[in-house]
């Protein structure tokens, strides 16, 4: 069976790997180099609790994927000999006001009723841990099971897997049209010719709307990175002003991220970078003396209800897996699994049903 995946990001390459492991012949069509789009620009937090997701199916989906992560990365590391910087460092969410403190304490309580771990750490204990602490910080909620991965190393490993295991990568290739006959997928027209396959999966992130009406749009995020040392920070700190992600090797602190609905407008802005560095200053003030390494930006694939779009489309054998918004890196293992089960075994589990494209139709009585 030959499968085509449009989009060589974390979702496309994770699914390509799953299909390849199970004997499928897979071609990935990517406009740029694989792995260098939104997946490269992300922060790599595996953070359903720090993100404050409400109880429900989406939180369950995220928690299940977080639980799959260690095995996912360890297997990939064995396959590729690349350490992808997975670190179950826990994430601290600082409170900058009384209201945030109340909200975070409530969140700890709600999560504990679901069996998810979290605990409050007061300011005094935090002062003993950090060389400087923003003066507004009243304490913080620690979610020890949230984690991180170095998303650039992860994409490098997935690319290496693909190149070494016979997944065909059609890079710098524009997919321009889905060709169907009698409602059934036939092929993809590309800038390098027609690519035929038994099925196709659209995993083109914020660009997916280009191929099918799926209600996906970009939410831009600006990011920065600075030098750090191990004395500066011991784990991810995710506050309302910014998040700070120290990489496992302490060669870099990633600072994120703005959120703007400006379409695909490119470039970093003074306003965006100021927001990030003010967030850094208000959290760990002494780090403003550290050297800037890089600034960049990316586009999260969002949907109107901020949930992913997974499953079948109206065209037979044309599938979709996108719309992961702030959680694409986290959701790669579970998305690859549920999409593989759908394609290979026809299993439409409750996640696929909940995140189906049909929900947009139902809402509009189409």
- Cα–Cα distances in Å, from 55 out to 113, 140, 145, 238, 307? 10, 21, 16, 20, 14
Number of residues that bind ligand GLY (CB under 6 A): 7
Please give the Cα distance from 347 to 364 (Å, whole number). 26
CA Rg, the chain, in Å? 21
Is 12 or 256 the residue whose CB approaches ligand GLY more closely? 256
Q: What angle do CA 86, 88, 93 make, to 5 degrees?
A: 120
Q: Could you give the C-alpha distances from 189 to 63, 178, 194, 320, in angstroms and in order?
A: 38, 6, 4, 17
* Closest to ligand GLY by CB, 35 or 221: 221
Using rule CB under 6 A, residue 140 touches ligand GLY? no
Choice between 8 and 221, CB closer to ligand GLY: 221
The answer to whether 179 touches 145, Cβ cutoff 8 Å, is: no
Nearer to ligand GLY, 287 or 329 (CB): 329
Of 278, 256, 279, the C-alpha closest to 268 is 256
Q: Does 35 bind ligand GLY (CB under 6 A)?
A: no
* Nearest approach, Cβ of residue 40 and ligand GLY (Å): 13
Which string of x and - marks every residue 166-205 that binds ligand GLY (by CB under 6 A)? Answer: ----------------------------------------
Q: Which of 256, 272, 301, 308 binds ligand GLY (CB under 6 A)?
A: 256
- 127's tokens: 């002062």
Assess 257 for contact with ligand GLY (CB under 6 A).
yes
| Min CB(282)–ligand GLY separation in Å | 18
Regarding 38 and contact with ligand GLY (CB under 6 A), the answer is no
* Binding letters toward ligand GLY, positions 295-334, x by CB under 6 A: -----x-------------------------x--------
Could you count the other beta carbons within 10 Å of the beta carbon of residue 146? 27
**What's the CA gap between 142 and 327, in Å, rounded?**
19
If one asks whether residue 90 binds ligand GLY (CB under 6 A), the answer comes out as no
Residues near 225 by beta carbon (within 8 Å), at least 6 away in sequence? 252, 253, 254, 255, 292, 293, 294, 295
Where on the chain is the footprint of ligand GLY (CB under 6 A)? 43, 45, 221, 256-257, 300, 326
């Amino acid at each position: 069976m030959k499968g085509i995946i449009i989009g060589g990001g974390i979702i496309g390459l994770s699914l390509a790997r799953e299909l390849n492991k199970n004997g499928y012949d897979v071609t990935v069509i990517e406009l740029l180099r694989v792995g260098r789009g939104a997946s490269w620009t992300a922060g790599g937090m595996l953070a359903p609790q720090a993100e404050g997701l409400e109880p429900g199916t989406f939180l369950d989906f995220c928690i299940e994927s977080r639980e799959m992560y260690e095995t996912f990365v360890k297997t990939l590391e064995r396959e590729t000999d690349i350490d992808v910087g997975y670190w179950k460092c826990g994430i601290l969410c600082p409170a900058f006001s009384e209201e945030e403190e109340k909200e975070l304490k409530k969140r700890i309580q709600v999560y504990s009723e679901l069996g998810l771990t979290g605990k409050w750490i007061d300011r005094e204990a935090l002062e003993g841990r950090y060389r400087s602490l923003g003066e507004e910080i009243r304490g913080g909620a620690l979610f020890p099971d949230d984690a991180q991965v170095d998303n650039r190393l992860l994409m490098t490993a997935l690319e290496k897997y693909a190149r070494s295991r016979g997944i065909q990568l059609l890079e710098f290739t524009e997919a321009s049209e889905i060709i169907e006959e009698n409602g059934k997928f036939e092929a993809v027209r590309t800038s390098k010719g027609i690519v035929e396959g038994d099925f196709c999966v659209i995993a083109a992130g914020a660009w997916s709307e280009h191929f099918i009406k799926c209600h996906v749009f970009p939410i831009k995020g600006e990011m920065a990175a600075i030098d750090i040392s191990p004395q500066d920070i011991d784990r991810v700190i995710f506050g309302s002003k910014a998040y700070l992600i120290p990489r496992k090797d302490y060669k870099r602190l990633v600072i994120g991220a703005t959120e703007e609905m400006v379409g695909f407008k490119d470039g970093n802005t003074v306003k965006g970078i100021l927001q990030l560095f003010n967030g850094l200053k208000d959290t760990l003030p002494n780090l403003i003396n550290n050297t800037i390494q890089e600034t960049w930006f990316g586009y999260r694939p969002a949907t109107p209800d901020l949930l992913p779009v997974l499953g079948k489309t109206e065209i037979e054998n044309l599938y979709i897996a996108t719309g992961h918004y702030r959680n694409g890196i986290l959701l790669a293992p579970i998305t690859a699994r549920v999409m593989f089960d759908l394609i290979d075994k026809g299993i439409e589990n409750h996640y696929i049903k909940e995140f189906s494209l049909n929900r947009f139709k139902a809402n509009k009585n189409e």
